[in-house]
Chain A
Amino acid sequence: MSLEQALSKGKFVITAEVGPPKGVDIEEMLEDAELMRGRVDGVNVTDQQSSVMRLGSLAACHLLKQRGLEPIYQVTCRDRNRIALQSDLLSAYVLGIENVLCLTGDYVSLGDHPDAEPVFDLDSVSLLQAAKALQQGKDLAMKELKGSPRFFLGAVVTPGADPLEPQLIKMEKKVKAGAQFFQTQAIYEPERFEQFMQAVNHLKVPVLVGIILLRSAAMARFMNKNVAGVHVPESLIEEMDQAEDKAKKGIEIAARLIRDMKGTCQGVHIMAIGLEKRVPAILDAAGL
């Protein structure tokens, strides 16, 4: 079943992400993806996450698709102009990839090639517009296509942003531009997430709440200090700090958050960031 079908049937959907390797040894990535088989409704493949040069998400999505998994192709505007982005979208479609997550992308300075040219010819909103135009048989230059693709278009939002209003305004623009589902930045405060969901209720668009698996108290503190829009409350940091088995505790917290937020949204998006092998355990603990 496709991600779109799962959402339209009203199933509480599960997605998780895998990161392509820096190099061509794809074994571990495929192993991680294999663990998700039968457990998730879609596997996100990151597009050179944190601006670190890696194997491309399009090729990795193709590999997953060949193996009968349901990839979600993440596309950022950081490295490619509107010509390349539109072409990559067409390429994705002919390879059978229909789920596309449109993002702006991190700035180049965050990665391992800080001296690279940042492109950002389009942004997340205009990339969605481009994908929508292609579906309607025209490109951004209004030129007719020979056969048009069909996508299930996703976008992202940060429910923990402060102030939240600019995020809400942009989310609304993304819906207008063509976004059909949202995956969120990680959020560790169910009450705050519920307020966010109330604020976006009128958009009538499915939202998959983002969960980043905690590995230690230090990691939580690091995210609080450095990752925009992510806030791990002190009580959770303490729990991690005092736990003897950090791996087990991280899984327990993730599962608890999923259970607490399950009722307010349409699905969950798990970002294990290198600990993909723990995803099945999180799902088991969450009763999914």
Chain B
Amino acid sequence: MLVSELKPFEDILEYLDGEKNVFLVGCKGCAEACQTGGEAQVLEMKQKLEEEEKAITGYTIIDFACEKALVASKLRGHWSEVMDADSLLVMSCGIGVQATSAVIDKVVHPACNTISLGGAVGTWPGSERCRQCGDCVLDLTAGICPLTACTKGLLNGPCGGAKDGKCEFEPEVRDCGWHLIYERLKKLGQLDKMREIAPLKDRSKMQPPKHLRSTIMWALEQEEREVAPR
């Protein structure tokens, strides 16, 4: 199971600044289990965004948003709603955000911070990786994670080591992550995002709180909390 938490709503509103129409993507995998991207949360997000005068063109909830093929086929089922949107808000872990970004040429925003991959893992990812940094930066980087796509995990752009779009580490096989980010930002008309100096990474957020080290325990506690009020 992968544990994520919703980003503060103000952060999400900031991402959506200047955009009117939004398509929501939820996840029935781990995100639902940790109550950040299941149907209830997606509907709640829809309502909150509508209160902020955003138009929700539609939503879908995917069994494992980390799997690109599933994301692509689900989005095809909502094609006109997706096309009508300025951007997609993805309520899943970092892999789901990247998988969505990989299958559609639209701006994709993360709604969650990914905290921990542990316990019974339900993820089904392709080439996308999430470092569970607890402070997702995918909004700045066109839905491609600089921590995992860049070998050095750089946050402010490419180093001088990339040649022909390839990384100095394993240049035969490995793309320069920042080359991919640059190309995609350019395609989406978002190059200004690359001009912002990235905030210093708070590495302490990479250490999940002790109670999350065992996600099974966490799930049980979650269950108890829900049962208790009844």
Chain A residues near B (Cβ < 8 Å): 82, 104-107, 109-110, 118, 120-126, 129, 140, 156-158, 161-163, 165-167, 169-170, 172-173, 176-177, 185, 226-229
Taking a contact as CB atoms under 8 Å apart, the answer to whether B194 and A169 are in contact is yes
Is A228's CB under 8 angstroms from B156's CB? no
A129 to B170, CA, bound (A): 30
Closest 4 CB pairs of A and B: A170-B157, A125-B156, A228-B163, A104-B159
Min Cβ gap A225→B in Å is 9
Binding site for A on B (CB under 8 A): 151-164, 167-170, 178-179, 182, 191, 194-195, 197-198, 200-201, 203
Q: Which residue of A lies closest to B195 (CB)?
A: A169
Assembly CA distance A170 to B157 (angstroms): 6
Contacts of A121 in B (CB 8 A): 201, 203
Q: Are B191 and A169 in contact, with the CB atoms below 8 A?
A: yes
Q: Bound state CA distance, A123 and B155, in angstroms? A: 7
Q: Is A106 a contact partner of B200 (Cβ separation < 8 A)? A: no
Question: When A107-B151, A107-B152 are in contact, do A166 and B197 touch as well, CB less than 8 Å?
Answer: no
Min CB distance B98 to A, Å, is: 20
Q: How far is the CB of B163 from chain A (nearest CB, A)?
A: 4
> Given that A121-B203, A185-B160, A229-B163 are contacting pairs, would A129 and B197 also be in contact in the complex, using a CB cutoff of 8 Å?
yes
Q: Once the chains bind, are B157 and A166 in contact (CB under 8 Å)?
A: yes
- Could you tell me if A140 and B200 are in contact, using CB atoms closer than 8 angstroms? yes
By the criterion CB–CB under 8 Å, are A158 and B160 in contact? yes
Q: Is the CB of B168 within 8 A of A228?
A: yes
Question: How many Cβ-Cβ contacts under 8 Å join chain A to chain B?
Answer: 88
Instruction: Tell me if A126 and B161 are in contact (CB < 8 A).
Output: no
Residue of A nearest to B182 (CB): A166
Given contacts A165-B191, A166-B194, 19 further A-B contacts (CB under 8 A): A82-B200, A104-B154, A107-B169, A120-B152, A121-B201, A123-B155, A125-B156, A126-B155, A126-B156, A126-B198, A161-B160, A161-B162, A166-B158, A166-B178, A166-B182, A169-B191, A172-B195, A228-B161, A228-B168
A225 to B158 CA separation, bound complex (whole angstroms): 19
Contacts of A170 in B (CB 8 A): 156-158
CB neighbours (8 Å) of B156 from chain A are 123-126, 170, 173
A-B contact pairs, 21 of them (CB 8 A): A104-B160, A105-B159, A110-B168, A118-B151, A121-B201, A123-B159, A125-B197, A157-B160, A161-B160, A165-B182, A166-B158, A167-B160, A169-B191, A170-B156, A170-B157, A173-B157, A173-B197, A176-B197, A228-B160, A228-B168, A229-B163
The answer to whether B154 and A120 touch across the interface, beta carbons within 8 angstroms, is: yes
Residues of B within 8 A of A123 (CB): 152, 154-156, 159
**CB-defined contacts of B151 to chain A, threshold 8 Å:** 107, 118
Q: How far is the CB of A288 from chain B (nearest CB, A)?
A: 26
Q: How far is the CB of A207 from chain B (nearest CB, A)?
A: 15
A167 to B191, CA, bound (A): 13
Residues of chain B with a CB closer than 8 A to A177's CB: 197
Least CB distance from B16 to A in Å reads: 24
Contacts of A109 in B (CB 8 A): 168-170
Complex: A157 Cα to B151 Cα, angstroms: 19
What's the nearest-Cβ distance from chain A to residue B169, in Å? 5
Instruction: Kindly report which residue of chain B lies nearest to residue A114, judged by CB atoms.
Output: B169
Q: What's the Cα separation between A115 and B160 when bound, in Å?
A: 22
- Residues in B with CB closer than 8 Å to A169 are 157, 191, 194-195
**Inter-chain contacts of A125 with B (CB < 8 A):** 155-157, 197-198
- Closest Cβ neighbor of B147 among chain A residues: A120
| A residues in contact with B163, CB < 8 Å | 226-229
Please give, as numbers and ranges, the residues of chain B lying within 8 Å of A156 by CB-CB distance.
160
Least CB distance, A92 to chain B, in whole angstroms? 21
Q: A173 to B154, Cβ gap below 8 A?
A: no
Contact among B161, B179, B195, B198 with A107 in the assembled complex (CB-CB below 8 Å): B161
The answer to whether A118 and B152 touch across the interface, beta carbons within 8 angstroms, is yes
Q: How far is the CA of A172 from the CA of B178 in the complex (A)?
A: 16
Chain B contacts for A163, CB-based, 8 A: 182
Please measure, in the bound complex, the distance between the C-alpha atom of A106 and the C-alpha atom of B159, giving whole angstroms.
Answer: 8
Known A-B contacts A107-B168, A173-B197, A229-B163; A167 and B158 likewise in contact (beta carbons under 8 Å): yes
Is the CB–CB distance between A126 and B152 below 8 Å? no
Q: What is the chain B residue whose CB lies nearest that of A224?
A: B163
